[in-house]
Structures are given as structure tokens and as C-alpha cells.
Amino acid sequence: MTTLMPKAFGTVTPLPPIPSSRKISARAALVGVHDPAGPLLTECFRQFGIEAINMGDDAAERLSKEKFEACVVRLAPGAETVMESARSSPSNTRMVIYGLGGSAQEAMKYSKYGINAIFHEPLERPAALKLVRATQMLVLHEFRRYVRIPVITELTLVMADGRRISATSREVSSGGLSGKCAEDLGAGQSVEISFALLTLPRVLIRGNISWRKAANKTFGVRFDQQDERRLRLKEWIDAYLES
């Protein structure tokens, strides 16, 4: 996930077009996305063969009926209705959902809808392109080359000494996950990690802290291959990619 440092907007200048080398093969709905973010995201998605479509007040209704591969939703009043409509639609239940604005902690109120990533504001092209590039294979269903699922959900880490640490996830795979938390974690520490994902009820899996970056408070967990509870997550990921 890309994090932007806040900057003040100066004079808004027209965006030069980003050349696209791919044919349009997927659609992304833009809900509550206004200038200058709208044109910027449209160009970023187009570069990867994704057509961005601005939605009006009927966004929830359209997402319940029309097929979209992704959706960018401003994290503001009304966002929950849009996400609920998308996730309850047979066509869009597994669509990639991007939040726009807010922090990972603020996105937690929508965690049951499985937000995959967040565009932070003020939006800048390099950061937006980086995030779209990191997730575009999931949007385009090129799963054989993409084994990690970007998703934001609440994590509970139970350390060997009994401490319980709260964190948020960034990416999840059948072999481990990455996340972010304020607590000091050391590589090699044993941990049991608890979380839930959309249709996956809460699961507890043993693992070890595999890396920690103090600068941005991120960390990685490698799951214990002998923990059979990991298979529930693997089955969920397989179903997610196949749907």
C-alpha cells in the first residue's frame, strides 16, 4: 500500500496524458471522486488497461446490477451503502475496492467490506501509479502471477509473553502476511495472529515475525507450515481468485 506525505495543492495544471500500451479489459467505478483526483485516477487506470467510470447518485444501484472489476470509493458518509451494494452483488462480491482519503485506522470501520487498498489525499501521480501497478493484476484477473491479496483488516498478534498487539494488514497470502503497527516487533519472534476476511470467519495461525521496518512501522509474518489452520486461509484465497 502506498502512503503519501501530506502536501498542499498549488495551482492545478492540466495532466499530460499517460500513454496506454494495453487495450481496455476491465472497468473501475469511481464513487464520490471529484477533480483533480478523478482525471488523475482515470489516466492511471487507463495505463493498465482499466477504464475508470464516474458514478453518480445511483452508484449503489448500478453496483448491485452491473459488473465492475474495481471500485474507488471516497471514505465519507454514504461509502458503507456503496460497499454493501457491491459486496452483496453476485457480480461484484470479489471486486477490488480502493478507499480514497482517510487513514488505515479510519478504514477499519469498513473492514467487513474488505477494502483492498487506500489512495491517500492529496493524491499525486507517482503514488497513484505505484498503487495501481501493485494491484492491477488482481483487477485484471491475472492470478497466476499474483499470489498476495491486498486487503485492510484488523489483526491481533498474541506474543510469546502473552502480550496482545493490535495491527492492520496490508497483504495476505497462504504463506504469510504483511501489516503495520506501532509496537516494537523483533524479527524471529514467535506469534499467533488472529484475523477475519470477508467470508472467512476469524482464524488463528502460528507464525514468526520475518521482517520489521521501523521507519514506516511495517512488518511481515511467515506462517508456520505445520499449522493446519493455515489451510483455511489457503482455501479462502483459492476461492477468492477463482470467483
pLDDT digits (tens, 9 = 90+) for 154-169: 999 999 999 999 999 9
Distances in Å between the Cα of 199 and the Cα atoms of 59, 109, 111, 194, 215 are 23, 17, 12, 15, 33
In this predicted structure, the answer to whether residue 10 has a pLDDT above a threshold of 70 is no
71-114 pLDDT tens trace? 999 999 999 999 999 999 999 988 999 999 977 777 888 988 99
Q: Do domains 26-145 and 152-242 have the same CATH topology?
A: no
The average confidence (pLDDT) of the chain is 87
Is residue 124 very low, low, confident or very high in pLDDT (cuts 50, 70, 90)?
very high
Q: What are the domain boundaries of the chain?
A: 26-145, 152-242
Query: Predicted confidence band at 3 (pLDDT cuts at 50, 70, 90)?
Result: very low
pLDDT of 197 strictly over 70: yes
pTM for the whole structure: 0.81
Query: Which architecture, in CATH terms, is 152-242?
Result: Beta Barrel (2.40)
Q: Say whether pLDDT at 27 is over 50.
A: yes
| Strand-pair partners of 220 | 178, 211
CATH no. of 26-145: 3.40.50.2300
Which one is predicted more confidently, 24 or 152?
152
